[in-house]
Structure 1
Amino acid sequence: MSRVRCPRCLRPQSHCLCADIPHCTHSHPVIVLQHPSEQQHAKGTAHLACLALSNAQIMVGETAEDFAELKQQVELNPDQFFLIYPSETSQAIEHRATSKNAASVVADSFPTILLLDGTWRKAKKLWHLNPWLQDLEQFHFDRAPHGQYKIRKTSIDKGLSTIEAIGYALNQLEMFDPTPLVGILRALANQQLSAMPAAIKKRY
């Protein structure tokens, strides 16, 4: 029998994180394109990030057909979207942030930030299966802090969890304080560690 889950944070009721999820306001809308394999992952952070953020959502899928409505919006107004993804043509988001003066930030209509959520292999699959994303401006992180989510391994040097990537992107674009999002991540990590046998916990 499966464990009863909290309908909001989707964690088991005994490990509900709702009390650790603050309300964070921000200007840039956020859309997370999530690979289906990530949807039920116990260590996933995208859903928790979207619960905390005032203007964020998840779209689950793999192909262009799965994201048809968003694809249409992007093709109609490509300047209103950009993608966080370290492609061969991506630019450092830090450079974009410092090149915008205060007056232009106020005048902007705040483009939507798109992120790909999944393991690095699954994120690359989303990238290749959705060539419409490749027409957007793409950005990577040059000076992001070291990732704090040690309990989930990544093959990417200095890789960040989705919740950390969202927080850092918003911080660079609009001086958003990512501390509350990092707090959620720590609460999740502490839960996962507390449930691990001592022998396994030593690996982290």
Structure 2
Amino acid sequence: MPLATDHAVSRLRAACLLQDTNNTRPRLDRGEPRIERCGRCRLIPSHCMCHLRPELSLAPGQRPAAVCLIMAEFEALKPSNTGWLIADVLPDTQAFSWSRVRVEPGLLALLADPQWQPFVVFPGEFAEGREVVTELAAFLPGAASAAVLKRPLFLLLDGTWSEARKMFRKSPYLANLPVLSLQAEQLSRYRLRRSSHEHHFCTSEVAALCLALAGDEHAAQTLEAYLEVFSNRYISAKQSVPADEGDEGHQRLRALAAVHRSRA
């Protein structure tokens, strides 16, 4: 099945596949034989959710916050990766591969673009010696600051917890950027790749929390609902049971999509 290349993460996935000419990437599907998956949503064909994709288009003159994913090696290839969901929902999401020895020029250009105020999203307790902020009041409309002219750009380190810590420590181009430390009271509901620490969130959950902090509640709620639907369908596929399109998550996603269409 051909690969879709209509957003940053899917393009990064296609590039990773092309570069891996020696087929050295690890097996990312469990079991034998290799599972056939939809090239667009990464689910098996019987559980495809392409028809549920809730892309949020930008209204003329709208200047919302945005997300940039800095992805560990092979992360874009994992069927359970949730950074892909962010790019599905937010059309201007950026994605770059991380390497300790080189930096993609496009990432450096993005960080230097004066329209953005970048924030590295990372737990403050691991950011000793860095500028740490916990809220964005000074960067939102109505703030008495020149920074109000800039759009928040949330830099998410997409990988396992150990990979994210390595990226945080060994990326000097991020060292002088403020660190946004989320103070979420909720526990993670992500069920596909469970962290040993309940306060660790998956990438899509982190993005939703950031969007809510930036005042875009509709985008945050849509991303949360989309993650819930993806998780339910992914697990249903693994258990060989049909997807339940009438469950609470599907209903909430459709209701949020209807709200967006009414605003467009």
Length-normalised TM-score, structure 1: 0.81
CA RMSD of the aligned region, Å?
2.8
Identify which of 29, 42, 50 aligns with 2:87: 50
The worse-fitting range, judged by mean Cα deviation, of 64-73 and 14-23 is 64-73
Length-normalised TM-score, structure 2: 0.64
Residues 96 and 107 in structure 2, CA contact (< 8 A), matched pair in contact too: no
Identify which of 39, 55, 75 aligns with 1:7: 39
Measured after TM superposition, the shift of residue 102 of structure 1 is 3.8
* Equivalent residue number for residue 120 of structure 2: 83
| Cα distance in 2 between the residues matched to 1:151 and 1:73 | 31
| Cα distance in 2 between the residues matched to 1:169 and 1:103 | 19
Residues 75 and 159 in structure 2, CA contact (< 8 A), matched pair in contact too: yes
Identify which of 95, 111, 134 aligns with 2:175: 134
Measured after TM superposition, the shift of residue 144 of structure 1 is 4.6
| Cα distance in 1 between the residues matched to 2:140 and 2:97 | 35
Measured after TM superposition, the shift of residue 72 of structure 1 is 4.5
* Equivalent residue number for residue 190 of structure 2: 149
2:157 maps to 1:113: no
Q: Give the partner amino acid of 1:148.
A: R
**Secondary structure of 1:58's match?**
strand
* Equivalent residue number for residue 165 of structure 2: 124
Measured after TM superposition, the shift of residue 83 of structure 1 is 1.0
* Equivalent residue number for residue 236 of structure 2: 194
Residues 64 and 71 in structure 1, CA contact (< 8 A), matched pair in contact too: no
- Give the fraction of aligned pairs with identical amino acids, expressed as a percent: 23
Residues 29 and 55 in structure 1, CA contact (< 8 A), matched pair in contact too: yes
1:75-120 deviation line (CA, Å, top 9, x unaligned): 57597322111222353433x33x5564239942213221100010
Residues 90 and 140 in structure 1, CA contact (< 8 A), matched pair in contact too: no
Measured after TM superposition, the shift of residue 194 of structure 1 is 1.9
The worse-fitting range, judged by mean Cα deviation, of 14-23 and 3-12 is 3-12
Q: Give the partner amino acid of 1:156.
A: H
* Equivalent residue number for residue 202 of structure 1: none
Q: Give the partner amino acid of 1:74.
A: L
Q: Give the partner amino acid of 2:204.
A: I
Q: Which has the higher contact order (CA 8 A, sep 6+)?
A: 1
| Cα distance in 2 between the residues matched to 1:4 and 1:152 | 20
Residues 33 and 114 in structure 1, CA contact (< 8 A), matched pair in contact too: yes
